[in-house]
Amino acid sequence: MRVSTATSSRSDSRVFTVVVQGYGTAQARNAERSITVPFVRLQTVMQSISQLGGKVLSVTPCSEAPAPAAAKPAATKPATTKPAVSHADVPVNLYKPKDPFVGSVTENYSLLAEGAIGRVNHITFDLSGGDPQLHYVEGQSIGIIPDGADANGKPHKLRLYSIASTRHGDNLEGNTVSLCVRQLQYEKDGETINGVCSTFLCDIEPGAKVKITGPVGKEMLLPDDEEANVIMLATGTGIAPMRTYLRRMFEPAEREKNGWQFRGKAWLFMGVPTTANLLYDDDFNRYQAEFPDNFRYTKAISREQQNPSGGRMYIQDRVSENAEEIFTWIENPKTHVYMCGLRGMEPGIDEAMTAAAAAKGLDWAELRPQLKKAERWHVETY
């Protein structure tokens, strides 16, 4: 290995070319690659390469060091002063737990194919007749207060669910809201326990009345920009907000209604245990067929596919496979990332982004808070 750092006295502005092998995602591992690294990042990058099993072949100063500002790729730019996502006109808490809106169920059907694990239902409520009218935008949640009382005889507390319909509702009339709900079930002392609210919702019949609160949430709002790029990372029912975004972007009647002519690129990563557990899959396949230049759909089917280590294929493994490309998207200031579902996916996604950032001489631990501040990194996980 050749290491030379001795040609310049401009210590802070120096830039180096690091030639490395055996580093990066699967396809890139065998190739020899050059990475341009500013002096201040050199040590961190070398450590990260070594931790990830890469071999540094040489480190040489670039003959012409770019000016410090030019040395930083776009992704490291601090937050823009204007928020990327408009918070104006986003309704919040129109109905509170003490005085909820009472809606009625219009439909409740299973989203799963035969052989799927568990129960996941799409449930729609009629919101008409409220004063004020209960309305919401894509990316928000509503609260549901299940009927009945808890073990102490007190009314049940509300549970929040991400909204799965656009503001226009599935019927496009602007007076309904839909949810995507998995029945929570777990074993305790040899007994199967059913989640109170999720079971209430999965069992509910059309016509039944339901106490609804909200809407709440400004973390998962879509940008206004019709040319934004949107990366979506969802596990299971975490698909709910992504379905609203994708309908807003690609569902023909919804597009006509909303007048939002999305022209950017969208990339959905979806994690489910089996093919039969895929949610809204036919719609997403249709969008992919109709908008091949704008929509990519990547699935991680954990109990049918294996990751490179022979374990279950999780969404973070798909992110890892595509980390360089995802990172290139993120370097574009028009790109937003949305994550919804199981919290367990977060460390693996961070790991993949850390490697992709390091390959460009950047530190993900520094970059991620900047993306968050710029309202381009949106996370709602449990």
Residue 322 is encoded by which pair of tokens? Answer: 């595509």
CA distance 23 to 309: 16
Binder among 24, 103, 169, 236 for ligand NAP (CB under 6 A): 236
Binder among 344, 366, 369, 373 for ligand NAP (CB under 6 A): 344
Query: Which position among 23, 48, 141, 162 bears the catalytic label?
Result: 162
Rg (the chain; Cα; Å):
24
Sign for the CA dihedral angle at 169, 101, 380, 274 comes to negative
214 touching ligand NAP, by CB under 6 A:
no
CA distance 234 to 247: 16
- The size of the interface with ligand NAP (CB under 6 A), counted in residues, is 26
Binder among 303, 308, 366, 373 for ligand NAP (CB under 6 A): 303
178 touching ligand NAP, by CB under 6 A:
no
Q: Which residues pair with 181 in a beta bridge?
A: 121
Amino acid letter for position 2? R
CA distance 169 to 60: 58
Question: In this structure, are strands 335-341 and 229-235 parallel, antiparallel, or unpaired?
Answer: parallel
218 touching ligand NAP, by CB under 6 A:
no
| 314: annotated active-site residue | no
Give the interface segment with ligand NAP, choosing from 17-25, 235-243, 244-252, 366-374 (CB under 6 A).
Answer: 235-243
Of residues 345 and 355, the one with the C-beta less far from ligand NAP: 345
Cα dihedral 251, 334, 138, 288, rounded to 10, equals 30
Give the interface segment with ligand NAP, choosing from 24-32, 59-67, 206-214, 236-244 (CB under 6 A).
Answer: 236-244
Of residues 238 and 361, the one with the C-beta less far from ligand NAP: 238
Q: Is 242 helix (H, G, I), strand (E, B) or coil?
A: helix
381 touching ligand NAP, by CB under 6 A:
yes
Query: Among 42, 41, 46, 59, which Cα is nearest to 3's?
Result: 59
Cβ atoms within 10 Å of 43's Cβ, excluding its own? 10
Q: Which residues pair with 124 in a beta bridge?
A: 107, 178
Binder among 315, 319, 355, 371 for ligand NAP (CB under 6 A): 315
Binder among 123, 278, 345, 357 for ligand NAP (CB under 6 A): 345
Binder among 106, 108, 162, 229 for ligand NAP (CB under 6 A): 162
Residues in the chain: 382
Q: What is the largest CA-CA distance in the chain?
A: 78
Q: State in angstroms the smallest separation of the CB of 182 from ligand NAP.
A: 4
| 340: annotated active-site residue | yes
Of residues 176 and 277, the one with the C-beta less far from ligand NAP: 277
- List residues binding ligand NAP (CB under 6 A): 141, 162, 182, 235-238, 240, 271-273, 277, 302-303, 312, 314-316, 340-342, 344-345, 380-382
As annotated, the active-site residues are: 161-162, 340, 380, 382
